[in-house]
Amino acid sequence: MKILTSKPYLNVLFALAIILLCLCGYLVYQQMRKLALSNSWVIHSYQIISKTNHLQSLINDGESRISFYMLSSNADLIKNINLIVNEIEKTFLELGVLMQDNTEQSNTLKILGTAIKTKTDRMHVLISNYQQNHDQGIAIASSQARYDLKQTIAALIKEINDRELGLLQQRLNDLNKDFNNFNLMLLGASALGLLMLVLSYIVLNYHLKQRENLLTVQEDMENELLIINEDLRQSERRLQLATEGNTAGIWDWIPGTSNVFYSDSFKNNLGYSEEEFPNTVESFEKAIHPEDHNRVWELVTNHLENNTPFITEYRLKSKKGIYKWFRAAGQSLRDKQGRATRMSGFIIDITESKKNTQYLSIQYGITRALIESRSLEEMSVKIIQIICEGLDWKMGSIWRKDENKSNDLYCLASWQKPSLKDDEFQKATMKIRTPVGKGLIGKVWQAQKPVWINDVMEEETFTRKHLAKNLGLHSAFYFPVFEKNKVVGLMEFFSHSKEATDEPLLNFFKTIGFLLEEYIQRELNKKQLIESEKYKSAILESALDGIVTINDQGEIISCNAQTATIFNYSIYELNHKSIELLMPGLLSALNELRTKEVSEFTGVKKNGGRIPCELTISKMQLDETAATVIIIRDITERKKIDQMKNEFISIVSHELRTPLTSIQGSLDLLADETVGPLSDDEKQLINIARNNSGRLIRLINDILDIQKIESGKTEFKLNIYEIKPIIEEAIAANEAYAQKFNVKLKLLEPYPNSVVNVDKDKLLQALTNLISNAIKFSPEKETVEIEIRELPTRMVRVSIRDKGPGIPKEFQPLIFQKFVQADSAATRKRGGTGLGLSITKAIIDSLNGKINFITKENSGSMFYFELPIANLVDNYGAPENLPIILICEPDDETANILQNIFRQNKFNTIITHTAAEAKKVINQANIDALITDVVLPDQSGISLIKELRVTNPSYLLPVVVISLAATQNVQKLKGSALSILDWIDKPIEQFRVIQAVKHIRAQMDANTVKILYVEDDKDLITVIQKAIGEEATIISANTIKDASAAMRREDFDLVILDLLLPDGSGIELLPEFSKRHIPVIVFSAYEFPENYAKYVKSALIKSKTSNHDLLKLIRTTLGQKEEEVGG
């Protein structure tokens, strides 16, 4: 309304409008009245006219009735004449009333009255006359008087009527005029009204709008209030949610009054029902902790006065009497003067978090104490103090056990709050000595778990009651400190209040317990660690090996003193340097070296000198980075010693052999009587000398052998051999020796064709040892039996059986030891060195075999060894599908060199030593190439090749020849049809072999028959592919497009062509094949059109052709092609 009053002109306007409207109304009203009056006069006139006319008609009616009655004498006609007369009189009277206002008319009416009276009277007379005398009556009736009267009356009525009509005319005019005026006036008033209406509408509309706005604002305010209320509720709920349960509440206070609203959860939180905690300030006053009281009120006052923020934490006492911590915040509403009219806010129960924070801060304090303390005592006191201060406990002690003496428990340290009045209790505590299990302390110690005592005053075993009482101590808490499940200490705390056991507190102490335990453990570990570190670093530093740790970039992270010493640097010079400084090229080789257990590498000293090093490289994870640890051993000395040893052996070997050569040589010649015949005595003596010289030579050889095998220095040149020829060779080699002893050697049949991977010479040596032993111990004329047998364990067993005296029991365990012979006299007699079996065992062991013996005294011994059976093709773990090359080379040395080179070039190898073996292998295995020496024991390499070419002319096996002066031989063999790919000179040079490998590969590729099979039926392709097998490689194309692509990609030896293809007819391809001279076999379901026959070798119809026929045709066609090429 304020808005309306602020616009007074509107009131004036409205007043004016209303006055105007009233005026208009009044005028209209007046006019209306006038109009009504006029109208009434008009009506009045019409009434008079109507009445007069009625009167006239009544009189006429009466007259007529009378006349007809007289004529007809029908009495019915005059029966109601009286009624008519009465009606005439009534109407006349009414006219009189109506004409009262008009004197002129009244006067005329008076006259008319008299005339009518006369008339009516006469009527009566007439009727009665007539009833008495008809004729008289008729006479009267037809009298002039009657007529005249009638005329007079009519004239009078007409006079009245005319006059009245005149009046009516006048009155109608007036009415009309009035009506027009009224209309005009009404129009004016309406227009004015309308105008007012429009104006009012505008004004009202405007004001209504204003009002509407006002209402919206008001409504918004109301809504907002609702929302605020809802918010409050929500925030309370949220608070509760946030604090896990009903831990939040709301309060609302009107300052200056005692009126406070506390929400239900506020009260519930403290354990009160709604009624128990009245909505007054006093309730709060009662609940708040005395220590917090003043501070909180100060804050409230400040807030109210200065609007400083009100947010604080305080304690409220719950119904149970326990103080809980709350965080409170509030805000006030203020009036225009800035006075706070309301203050409201929330509180949250933060007891738990307060406790946790408290615990955390205690924990932190303890951790610090643990770190900072230098002794257990110092630490204990600190911890007690921290716990007491943190939890508001009055006193604490730590108890230990006197392990050395009495095993009694004693108080190691104690602390009490300075506020306590005396230290008597503490003093008493310090004096206590109690055994485990006795007294409160002893019992708690024994319990080995935290103990909570609500009130020590009620505890019988508690001896310090009287002193505790003085200090007002009640609750006590004990918790043990463990070290590896053993109680090593006990903490004791006292508090003033009688508090209940508290789960979080127990948990908290568990944590503290762990901390202490860990600390004690750590201290112990630290001690051990320091010692072990010292020990380790002592080892590290005194190590003879250099130990270097490098990071991914090869930078030296750390190294020991020895590293520096080895390379003549100081440690500081090496720090963060690249390892390449010490060992150039190491980083690039690192990955490869890491795979080896140890590897040799050349290091460089500070002065540039080179040192041979042996490296052990291992990777390790260092925090987040990978590091490599390299153990460097300076092997200069070892190298030197090795060399010296080798030299020594060499020298011994040479220096001993040289004189022996002369001795043996001379004796041999003498014994042979080369220089002249000898007497028997001479012969005997010379033979003694010769035998012993021979024995000395064998001894030297054996010593060298065993020394080498045992030191692992012997290189075993492993190759694949059939075992039987080796055995036969060994038998042959010992034949002469056997004859000397008059002993026979026999290889038992049947023998399996086992293949072994061995060093042939070494195996021969082992066999010779065993066979010669058997011979030596065999009785004369007996047979030494040799047997080869395959075992189910994929081993081949070779046994050598003699019928000798057997091996004495006590001697059996020593049989493979050095210089052991059952009978040293026998040794001498039999010329053994005592090393034979040791060497044999060492050899068999090195060949991954086993050696053993079975013996029976006086009936003989059997020595046997077992070797793993190998595959004929030696693929050394390489994939089996590699091509196989047959190396036919009698000299093992050369064969090995070749084998290595071919292996490196991805070939599997078979080594044979003779042409016969080679032929056998070629027949058995599917070899891909041959390399042969020209000189073979049984026939020449060249004749071998010739044989191969004759037996299998169609297949051009790639062949390489090795010979002395090969280059010259090439000249000689030029033009011969042997198709030798390459000649390699002896001694063999690696690069020449590699060249040969290339030639072989090229030839192999050329040898592969490739067939393009154009066919959309994939199953058929598979069938044909299977039928052809390894004879040729089939490349299939399903469409013309694929076929063209394949043709562009590679060369083919043959095309098999289907005609009906998804993208056209195979015929389209024919010209292209023809251009490339590729023979074509058409293999289709349809007849082949003859006009294309010139492009095609043969045409087969699918339904009429068997696979066999097709294969045959393929082979023939390929054969023809080769001939063409060869020709």
Partner 1 sequence: MEDLQKIMLVEDEEDIRTVATFALEKRGKLTVKSFGSGQEALENVLNYNPQLILLDVMMPGMDGIATFKALRKMPELVEVPIIFMTAKAQQNEIAEYKALGAIEVISKPFDSSNLANQLREIWKKYHIEHTSST
Q: Residue 1013 corresponds to which tokens in the numbers above?
A: 């099979």
Least gap, CB of 837 to partner 1 (angstroms): 21
Least gap, CB of 933 to partner 1 (angstroms): 8
Considering only 321-329, 403-411, 574-582, 649-657, which stretch makes contact with partner 1 by CB under 8 A? 649-657
**Beta carbon nearer to partner 1, 45 or 932:** 932
| Window 745 to 804, contacts with partner 1 (CB under 8 A) | 761
- State how far the Cα of 427 lies from the Cα of 506, in Å rounded to an integer: 28
Instruction: Convert 650-683 to b/e letters by CB count within 10 Å (16 or more is b).
Output: eeeeeebeeeeeebbeebeebbeeeeeebeeeee
Considering only 86-94, 523-531, 657-665, 877-885, which stretch makes contact with partner 1 by CB under 8 A? 657-665
**Beta carbon nearer to partner 1, 459 or 729:** 729
Considering only 609-617, 775-783, 875-883, 960-968, which stretch makes contact with partner 1 by CB under 8 A? 960-968
**Beta carbon nearer to partner 1, 289 or 992:** 992
Query: Counting contacts by CB under 8 A, is residue 857 touching partner 1?
Result: no
**Beta carbon nearer to partner 1, 627 or 704:** 704
The kind and range of the H/E element at 514 are helix 503-542
- State how far the Cα of 957 lies from the Cα of 918, in Å rounded to an integer: 13
Query: Counting contacts by CB under 8 A, is residue 660 touching partner 1?
Result: yes
Query: Counting contacts by CB under 8 A, is residue 824 touching partner 1?
Result: no
Query: Counting contacts by CB under 8 A, is residue 969 touching partner 1?
Result: yes
Instruction: Convert 801-826 to b/e letters by CB count within 10 Å (16 or more is b).
Output: bbbbbbbeeeeeeebbeeebbbeeee
Query: Counting contacts by CB under 8 A, is residue 732 touching partner 1?
Result: no
* Count, residues near partner 1 per rule CB under 8 A: 45
Q: Residue 715 corresponds to which tokens in the numbers above?
A: 């290189």
**Beta carbon nearer to partner 1, 867 or 942:** 942
Give the type of residue at 661: T
Query: Counting contacts by CB under 8 A, is residue 934 touching partner 1?
Result: yes
Least gap, CB of 987 to partner 1 (angstroms): 5
Least gap, CB of 652 to partner 1 (angstroms): 10
Please name the residue ranges forming H helices in 823-982: 824-830, 836-846, 892-904, 915-924, 941-951, 966-973
Query: Counting contacts by CB under 8 A, is residue 203 touching partner 1?
Result: no
Cα angle: 776, vertex 780, 782; to 5 degrees:
95
Provide the 8-state DSSP code for 1016.
S
**Beta carbon nearer to partner 1, 449 or 713:** 713
Helices 134-141 and 103-132 pack at an angle, to 10 degrees, of: 150
Query: Counting contacts by CB under 8 A, is residue 658 touching partner 1?
Result: yes
Query: Counting contacts by CB under 8 A, is residue 946 touching partner 1?
Result: no
* Best CA proximity match to 398, nearest among 355, 360, 369: 369
Query: Counting contacts by CB under 8 A, is residue 943 touching partner 1?
Result: yes
- State how far the Cα of 1107 lies from the Cα of 1100, in Å rounded to an integer: 11
Identified binder of partner 1 from the candidate list 188, 437, 665, 1126, rule CB under 8 A: 665
Query: Counting contacts by CB under 8 A, is residue 1064 touching partner 1?
Result: no
Burial environment of residue 211 by CB neighbours within 10 A (0 to 12, 13 to 18, 19 or more)? middle
Considering only 429-437, 747-755, 844-852, 938-946, which stretch makes contact with partner 1 by CB under 8 A? 938-946
Least gap, CB of 1091 to partner 1 (angstroms): 57
Identified binder of partner 1 from the candidate list 661, 793, 1007, 1008, rule CB under 8 A: 661
Contact assessment for residue 380 and residue 493, using Cβ atoms and an 8 Å cutoff:
no
**Beta carbon nearer to partner 1, 962 or 1057:** 962
Query: Counting contacts by CB under 8 A, is residue 697 touching partner 1?
Result: yes
End-to-end CA, the chain:
129
Q: Residue 1002 corresponds to which tokens in the numbers above?
A: 């090229």
Cis (ω within 30 of 0) for the bond into 937? no
**Beta carbon nearer to partner 1, 74 or 661:** 661
Torsion, Cα 768 774 780 784, to 10 degrees, reads -80
Query: Counting contacts by CB under 8 A, is residue 668 touching partner 1?
Result: yes
Identified binder of partner 1 from the candidate list 102, 616, 940, 1039, rule CB under 8 A: 940
Helices 990-1007 and 892-904 pack at an angle, to 10 degrees, of: 60
**Beta carbon nearer to partner 1, 345 or 694:** 694
Helices 836-846 and 760-777 pack at an angle, to 10 degrees, of: 140
Query: Counting contacts by CB under 8 A, is residue 740 touching partner 1?
Result: no
**Beta carbon nearer to partner 1, 217 or 964:** 964
Q: Residue 910 corresponds to which tokens in the numbers above?
A: 């078979």
- State how far the Cα of 992 lies from the Cα of 973, in Å rounded to an integer: 19
Q: 597 φ, ψ to 5°?
A: -70, -55
Least gap, CB of 942 to partner 1 (angstroms): 5
Q: What 3-state class would DSSP assign to 853?
A: strand
Query: Counting contacts by CB under 8 A, is residue 715 touching partner 1?
Result: yes
Q: Residue 359 corresponds to which tokens in the numbers above?
A: 């615990």
**Beta carbon nearer to partner 1, 159 or 729:** 729
The kind and range of the H/E element at 654 are helix 636-671
- State how far the Cα of 188 lies from the Cα of 204, in Å rounded to an integer: 23
Give the type of residue at 664: Q
Least gap, CB of 535 to partner 1 (angstroms): 45
Q: Rounded to whole angstroms, what are the CA distances from 376 to 359, 385, 611?
A: 22, 14, 54
**Beta carbon nearer to partner 1, 324 or 760:** 760
**How many residues are given for the chain?**
1127
**Beta carbon nearer to partner 1, 155 or 688:** 688
Characterise 439 by phi-psi region: left (phi > 0), alpha (psi -120 to 50), beta (else).
left
**Beta carbon nearer to partner 1, 745 or 942:** 942
Considering only 86-94, 291-299, 441-449, 666-674, which stretch makes contact with partner 1 by CB under 8 A? 666-674
Query: Counting contacts by CB under 8 A, is residue 657 touching partner 1?
Result: yes
| Window 672 to 691, contacts with partner 1 (CB under 8 A) | 672, 674-675
| Window 975 to 1034, contacts with partner 1 (CB under 8 A) | 986-987
| Window 876 to 895, contacts with partner 1 (CB under 8 A) | 891, 893-894
Least gap, CB of 795 to partner 1 (angstroms): 27
Chain-centroid distance of CA 809 in Å reads 70
Identified binder of partner 1 from the candidate list 704, 882, 956, 1100, rule CB under 8 A: 704
Least gap, CB of 713 to partner 1 (angstroms): 9
Least gap, CB of 669 to partner 1 (angstroms): 5
Burial environment of residue 965 by CB neighbours within 10 A (0 to 12, 13 to 18, 19 or more)? exposed
**Beta carbon nearer to partner 1, 968 or 1007:** 968
* Best CA proximity match to 512, nearest among 384, 341, 331: 384
Least gap, CB of 662 to partner 1 (angstroms): 4
- State how far the Cα of 386 lies from the Cα of 370, in Å rounded to an integer: 12
Cis (ω within 30 of 0) for the bond into 290? no
The kind and range of the H/E element at 83 are helix 81-98
Least gap, CB of 936 to partner 1 (angstroms): 9
Query: Counting contacts by CB under 8 A, is residue 967 touching partner 1?
Result: no
**Beta carbon nearer to partner 1, 693 or 772:** 693
- State how far the Cα of 159 lies from the Cα of 165, in Å rounded to an integer: 10
Identified binder of partner 1 from the candidate list 662, 812, 952, 1116, rule CB under 8 A: 662
Query: Counting contacts by CB under 8 A, is residue 653 touching partner 1?
Result: yes
Residues that bind partner 1 (CB under 8 A): 650, 653-654, 657-666, 668-669, 671-672, 674-675, 693, 697, 704, 708, 714-715, 717, 761, 891, 893-894, 934-935, 940-943, 963-965, 968-969, 972-973, 986-987
